[in-house]
């Protein structure tokens, strides 16, 4: 990986995450559905590093940690950069190209991470089955990952132009 590729990955990951966050805020204004709770993500991360383990049932009932919100936002953006690195590696391997269509495919496939890892890790079970509305949670994750993927693909395409 060249230094420029590394910089491109960071820029595209952050840019796609910003698109994700702005879209989430717009969705909230249009539907009243609240955006992701990054404080809860931070609580999970802090719990992980302090010995609570990977799967943390009852996370929402645990007392708030003073640094959970910044920790959650930091993890959110770090994961976005990680997804950008995976996308770049897949482009380098010739499996996908820079562009909205391959980005959409990448985003749709990437939803397996929250469905089968992050939802269970934060105590809501596989595909959020223990949440108040699993279909809504899974549908929102799919929609947001699709949008994020399009932003990734488009971001890499813009850098290549």
Q: Is residue 64 part of a domain?
A: no
pLDDT at 160: 81
Per residue in 57-95, pLDDT (tens digit) is: 888 889 999 999 999 999 999 999 999 999 999 999 999
Q: Is residue 42 part of a domain?
A: no
**Residue 49: how many other CB atoms lie within 10 Å:** 8
Task: Look at residue 60 and tell me if it is in a domain.
Answer: no
Structure confidence at residue 35 as a pLDDT band (50, 70, 90): confident
Is residue 146 included in any domain, yes or no? Answer: yes
pLDDT, the chain, mean: 94
C-beta separation of 14 from 77 below 8 A: yes
Q: Is the full-model pTM beyond 0.75?
A: yes
Burial class (CB in 10 A: 0-12, 13-18, 19+), 106: buried
Cα separation, 44 vs 31, in Å, equals: 27
- Asked if the structure places residue 65 within a domain, the reply is no
* Full domain range(s) for residue 125: 3-36+74-160
3-state secondary structure of 51: coil
CA-to-CA dists, residue 77 to 40, 72, 110, angstroms: 15, 9, 15
């Amino acid at each position: 990986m060249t230094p420029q590729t590394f910089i491109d990955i960071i820029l595209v990951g952050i840019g796609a995450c910003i698109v994700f966050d702005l879209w989430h805020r717009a969705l909230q204004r249009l539907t009243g559905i609240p955006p992701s709770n990054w404080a809860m993500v931070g609580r999970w991360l802090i719990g992980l590093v302090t010995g609570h383990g990977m799967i943390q049932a009852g996370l929402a009932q645990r007392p708030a940690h003073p640094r959970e919100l910044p920790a959650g936002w930091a993890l959110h953006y770090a994961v976005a950069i990680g997804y950008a690195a995976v996308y770049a590696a897949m482009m380098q391997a010739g499996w996908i190209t820079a562009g909205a269509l391959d980005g959409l495919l990448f985003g749709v496939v990437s939803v397996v991470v929250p469905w089968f890892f992050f939802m269970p890790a934060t105590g809501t079970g596989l595909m959020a089955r223990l949440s108040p509305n699993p279909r809504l949670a899974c549908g929102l994750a799919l929609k947001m990952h699709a949008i994020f993927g399009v932003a990734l693909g488009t971001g890499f395409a813009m850098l290549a132009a």
